[in-house]
Amino acid sequence: MTVETENHDYYLLYGDKLLAFIRRLFKGSPEFRHDSLKYVARLAPYIPFLGGRPDFSPALKTVIRFPDKSLPLSFSAPIILAAGANKTANRIADFANLGFGGVSVGTATRRYREGNTHRPRIGFLEEDRAIYNSMGLNNDGVEAVAKRVDEQLVRAHKSGMSVGISIAETPGLLSEREKIQDVLETFAIAYKAADYIEINVSCPNTGEDRLDLNTRFVETLFSEIMNFRQSQAIRKAVYAKLSPDFSEHQLISTLEVLVRYGVNGVVVGNTFPTRKIAELPMLAKYDELKVLRSDGDKGGLSGRPLYHNTYALTRFVKARFPQLSVIACGGIDHGLKVFDLMLSGADAVQCYSVCAFRWMPAHAMRRELLWALQKANLKSIDELHTNE
């Protein structure tokens, strides 16, 4: 499934060099660096060089519409902050100050989870501009997350954002029935609050088998999820978050199931299992990575090395299953990548790891995306989709 595309790079400006200094300064506190984005988002309107207030440039406004008449999703720009950045759903609208057009909060499970107790549980790869983690789905539980989303949704909409809740199975459940009931309960709670629901069936960071490797289980799960959605008065979009390391056969089988049961779209993909990083164009080797879990595992990788894989997956999914909405996620750190992915069929993109390596990346990517539209003689994102 290899498809060649340019892995657009950016020049290191003053802000990027400052960010590199901060990474060195806090080298011994990777989780603090990982978690500090929320403070930057909060301060951005008051410190000019941090980015400022939300930008509502009409050229970048993105509306995702669905064939089954699910409620459309509206973003001030097609750049969404991926799940994992705002796990708690606190101060959601702050992230519009960083240039994001939407946020997927979570990932949330049925109840509170401390996550992986091993330390460290996150590592940075400077030369590859990548992060690997095994956080273990630490979160406050879906009831707390959904309540906060419900309380903040109007403000988030005024800031130009749609808000999704990413949910996942609670690790440790044994029977298939328990797992399905757990996800259904989590889904029902999240569904009442969010603009869309993102079901994470591909997390490699909990020490348990991924759900998306069992096609029969995926079929049963999404059959029941979509039956529940059909019973609701309001129809909201449902996305499945899939792993980036599927074989072609696994991917097609899973997508056929999702289409059969009316799932609106897919997020491609999740973090890449570190044990397979030899398949990616990167300098770091698996044996060089720190152990992140007590069982010796090294978690999942995100960041720049995933881009070629993300682009190939996006093109493949959209070519084979054009009815599915596609949100591309993995290695996206430049506005020209957003442009290329949207030309290939993506409706929007998600990113997070880039925030550790590029200064105010969403603002920079907005500028680069606007430039790409102008170069193509297009006035808006809508025209880009029209000219696909």
Domain of 155, CATH number, reads 3.20.20.70
Which run of H or E residues covers position 314? helix 307-320
273 lies in which domain range? 14-383
Q: Is residue 74 part of a domain?
A: yes
Half-sphere exposure of 368 (CA within 13 A, CB side): 21
Q: Is residue 8 part of a domain?
A: no
Q: Is residue 341 part of a domain?
A: yes
Residue with tokens 């570190």: 274
Q: Is residue 230 part of a domain?
A: yes
Helices 361-375 and 335-343: angle between axes, nearest 10 degrees = 50
- CB within 8 A of 263, min separation 6: which ones? 222, 226, 238, 239, 240, 324
CA distances from 372 to 304, 342, 375 (A): 20, 12, 5
- Separation CA 75–CA 103 (nearest Å): 10
Give phi and psi for 329, each to the nearest 5.
-145, 125
- Domains identified in the chain, total number: 1
pTM of the predicted protein model = 0.94
Q: Is residue 169 part of a domain?
A: yes
Per-residue pLDDT of the chain in tens (388 residues, 90 and over written 9): 556 688 899 988 888 888 888 888 877 777 776 678 888 888 888 876 767 777 788 999 999 999 999 999 999 999 999 999 999 999 999 999 999 999 999 899 999 999 899 999 999 999 999 999 999 899 999 999 999 999 999 999 999 999 999 999 998 888 889 999 999 999 999 999 999 999 998 655 444 455 555 778 889 999 999 999 999 999 999 999 998 998 898 899 999 999 999 999 999 988 999 999 999 999 999 999 999 998 899 999 999 999 999 999 999 999 999 999 999 999 999 999 999 999 999 999 999 999 999 999 999 999 999 999 999 999 999 888 765 5
Kindly give the residue spans of alpha helices, DSSP state H, lying in 119-275. 142-158, 176-191, 215-230, 248-260
Q: Is residue 257 part of a domain?
A: yes
